[in-house]
Structure 1
């Protein structure tokens, strides 16, 4: 087995698509309407377009426990997921210039450097650089 798709709950799929493509540099991979208010919408890393797809999942709008879980993680400052980075400081500065809000600035923690940002769709996302 291998991971092909993983999901991130988002409050607004269109807003999420704009953030993940325009700010983070991901590429839209699949966009299939499922109903009037949801789509099977995935993005992938520009550097690995055949890699793992991120499903921008509208679960918080359709499943109350998902909404509660997402909100609790966000309010506690806990990242929903993490993305790897070759250079957290460089990516932090690029994203700050694009208006992305960080709750944790680049911080060395043992064998990694991390930073945490708000994806504007209900999630804290951590970027991690292996030192």
Structure 2
């Protein structure tokens, strides 16, 4: 069987306030805006990502029957220094866990954060 899927293009987070989402993900988390194009009647398709990353996060209006905000996104952001990033986000006023969780050698240090609409993302130390 020939593989037809060759990469994960993006993950989608439905947001009610796209301008607020762009500000949060770029100014507070440090991601860069990659794409902003018209999307349907009066909507925009917006993608953000860490510099150099292939997979993006699409910050889109919610689809029919979908409520924006308060989602467990399943998105895990990787950082080389989880303690420094946690401190930086705390200083920027991001809603982060009170402390970095440490579960032992087999599990890297991690914490969770909530965006401006209460969507939850995980941050994990790599390397």
Q: What range describes the TM-score normalised by the shorter chain of this pair?
A: 0.7 to 0.9
1:121 CA displacement: 2.2
Q: What is the total number of aligned residue pairs between the two structures?
A: 120
RMSD: 2.1
Q: Aligned match of 1:57 in 52, 57, 60? A: 60
Is 1:23 the counterpart of 2:28? The answer is: yes
Match of 1:20, SS state, is helix
Compare CA radii of gyration and give the structure with the larger one.
2
- 5+ residue gaps, structure 1: none
- Higher strand fraction (1 or 2): 1
- Normalised by the length of structure 1, the TM-score is 0.79
- Higher helix fraction (1 or 2): 1
Deviant stretches of 4+, over 4 Å: none
- Normalised by the length of structure 2, the TM-score is 0.81
- 5+ residue gaps, structure 2: 1-5
